[in-house]
Amino acid sequence: MFDTKIAIVLRNDLAPWQELNVTAFLTSGIVAQYPTIIGEPYRDATGNVYNRLSVQPMVVLSAGQDDLRTIHLRSLERAVTTSIYVEEMFATGHDVANREVFGRFSPDDAKVVGIAMRADKKIVDKITKGARLHG
């Protein structure tokens, strides 16, 4: 149904609250990059209106730190723009602080805890090779 795939890869040693937090932040980056993936508002049987949701499914995967570093580097090699969350961002409290701490690291030394992308299915599968279905 879709030529593209949305994948979110989480580091496999995160606490449940961290997994949810990182997934939410990374998803917001995908939506910001591709606003057309958002459908129409939802309405219940009594006419209440609810937020619009993504029309495209997302797969959530997990991987160890080394595999996440490899996935990050593969995304850069293939020029796929991603959403990235690094471990140090858990200690910040707002966007400006997140950007500041994120900017301290390069792809070689970043402790990536999550990465999300949307691209051609085959490209996403190649980039995320080594990650497993989250569960």
CATH number for the domain that contains residue 45:
3.40.1490.10
d(CA 101, CA 4): 31
- Residue 106: C-alpha distances to residues 49, 76, 122, 132 (Å): 43, 12, 26, 25
d(CA 30, CA 83): 7
Domain count, the chain: 1
- What string of pLDDT tens digits covers the 135 residues of the chain? 899 999 999 999 999 999 999 999 999 999 999 999 999 999 999 999 999 999 999 999 999 999 999 999 999 999 999 999 999 999 998 999 999 999 999 999 999 999 999 999 999 999 999 999 998
Could you count the other beta carbons within 10 Å of the beta carbon of residue 48? 8
- Residue 92: C-alpha distances to residues 19, 36, 39, 102 (Å): 16, 30, 32, 10
42-43/49-50 β-pairing: antiparallel
Residue 79's domain comprises: 4-133
What pLDDT, on a 0 to 100 scale, did the predictor assign at position 135?
A: 85
Please answer whether residues 62 and 128 qualify as being in contact, where contact means their C-beta atoms are separated by less than 8 angstroms: no
What pLDDT, on a 0 to 100 scale, did the predictor assign at position 120?
A: 97
What pLDDT, on a 0 to 100 scale, did the predictor assign at position 69?
A: 96
